[in-house]
Amino acid sequence: MTFRSGFVAVVGRPNTGKSTLVNALVGRKVAIVSDKPQTTRRGVRAVLTSDGYQIVFTDTPGFHKPRTLLGSRLNELVGEATQGVDAVVQVVDAQAGVGRGDAFVFERQLRDFAGQKICAVNKLDVVRKRGEVPQLEAAAGLGEWDEIVPVSAKTGRGVGVLLDLLVEGLPRGPAYYPTDAVTDQPLEVRLAEIVREKALAVTRQEVPHSIAVVVEELEESDVLTKIHASLIVERDSQKGIVIGRGGETLKKIGSRAREEMERVLGHKVFLDLRVKVLKEWQRDPKALQRLGF
């Protein structure tokens, strides 16, 4: 049997459901998800291997008009992710409506791309039947596609069809990752991202955008893993919000994160969280470097 393999970049404007779709395609949670725009800040690679193929998906940050140095760096990541891949899937949001932001992504990232180009029209579980056709037509109007696939990453509708199309387009090739690999993210990054996901879920307004997480210490064993992590914010007022009255918000973040970490690691976790202020880190080149951006 011929083995096929290849790389697929998943792109789109912020909040179209890219990470949820990548998780649905690989059949397990690799990328963190939230309802906040710009949740994804790194090019997360998720690996799907079967007897006949291996696909390496890159989940990218939402491509947007940047307002900060961090925003510019995230856009650069998207550009890098689409270079040298076999296919690009642009995810558009049928609930919010296909529009100028999607056209901006197509122009910048897909117009000159020579490989397989697929548009995944997502969130159709929340669009009434009559509303589907206009969104599919709007997606067709963005540019030349090999395929347009209606999907719901949340319910799984259309995900199998999308995967089949991607597999059909794969070239012959070797497995690039071990067959049991699900991501190339270092453990420290995966754990930090779990903490950030839980922090995004319980904070509001400008605070989620200002949060970064760094694992300062990691002691692994088969029985108990000890993790010391810092939540980084930009202002003292944000620090107070993340800690909460009597430390309540930070405790909630910690307990939710610990539960998920224990599922990932398969054993008990001791998690120590601190909150630190790093003034205007999203605009500071030295701070971005320190935080791994």
CATH number assigned to the domain comprising residue 255: 3.30.300.20
Q: 36 and 72, same structural domain?
A: yes
> Is residue 225 included in any domain, yes or no?
yes
Q: Domain range spanning residue 111?
A: 4-168
The mean pLDDT value for 101-112 works out to 94
Q: Which residues have C-beta within 8 Å of that of residue 99, sequence separation ≥ 6?
A: 138
Helices (H) and strands (E) in the chain, counts: 10, 9
261 has a pLDDT exceeding 90:
yes
Q: 129 and 92, same structural domain?
A: yes
**What does the mean pLDDT of the chain come to?**
92
> Is residue 175 included in any domain, yes or no?
no
Q: 19 and 134, same structural domain?
A: yes
Q: 77 and 36, same structural domain?
A: yes
Collect contacts of 240-247 with beta carbons under 8 A, ≥24 apart. Answer: 241/203, 241/207, 242/199, 242/203, 242/207, 242/211, 242/275, 243/275
> Is residue 174 included in any domain, yes or no?
no
> Is residue 176 included in any domain, yes or no?
no
209 has a pLDDT exceeding 90:
no
* Of the candidate ranges 63-67, 78-82, 151-155, 191-195, the one whose mean pLDDT is the lowest: 63-67
Q: 213 and 139, same structural domain?
A: no
Q: Which of 135, 168, 201 is the last residue of a domain?
A: 168
Q: 279 and 246, same structural domain?
A: yes
- pLDDT (0 to 100) of residue 94: 95
196 has a pLDDT exceeding 90:
yes
Instruction: Give the strand pairing for 212-219 and 224-233.
Output: antiparallel
Which tokens belong to 181?
A: 């690999």
> Is residue 69 included in any domain, yes or no?
yes
pLDDT in tens, 112-138: 999 999 999 999 988 877 789 999 999
Q: 112 and 231, same structural domain?
A: no
Q: What is the pTM of this model?
A: 0.88
161 has a pLDDT exceeding 80:
yes
Q: 269 and 207, same structural domain?
A: yes
Q: 140 and 72, same structural domain?
A: yes
Report CA torsion sign: 239, 242, 244, 248. Answer: negative
pLDDT in tens, 3-32: 999 999 999 999 999 999 999 999 998 887
| Domain total in the chain | 2
